[in-house]
Amino acid sequence: DLATALNDRGQIKYLRVEFAAAVEDYTAAIQCQPGFEVPYYNRGLVLYRLGCFDEAMKDFRKVLELNPQFEDAALSLKQAILDKEEKQKRGY
């Protein structure tokens, strides 16, 4: 389906380090199928790598709202929270 295709295309762009383009594809996949948790997770990973911790945490929380058993999202959320706290401690 279209949402899966958009998510997969986003993955290819992510692997090519084309983060902005990957985020666009993940967002399009979400708009196409809002209950599909995978593109929220993938977009969260890109946002996390870019240091956008609040946005990443929002996506990881949405994944867990849609699928509470999504273990990688729970781990990523915890890591984003820790990294945000560390960044704040260091005054960045």
Confidence category of residue 8, pLDDT binned at 50, 70, 90: very high
- 82 token code pair: 């820790």
Q: Report the CATH number that the domain containing residue 19 is assigned in CATH.
A: 1.25.40.10
The Cα 54–Cα 49 span in angstroms is: 12
Q: pLDDT tens digits, residue range 48-87?
A: 999 999 999 999 999 999 999 999 999 999 999 999 999 8
* pTM for this entry: 0.94
Amino acid at 60: F
Residue 91 has pLDDT above 90, yes or no: no
* Containing structural domain, residue 81: 2-90
Q: How many domains does the chain have?
A: 1
Return d(Cα 65, Cα 73) in angstroms, integer: 10
Sign of the C-alpha dihedral computed for residues 48, 54, 60 and 62 taken in this order: negative
Q: Is the pLDDT of residue 45 over 90?
A: yes
Average pLDDT over all residues of the chain: 97
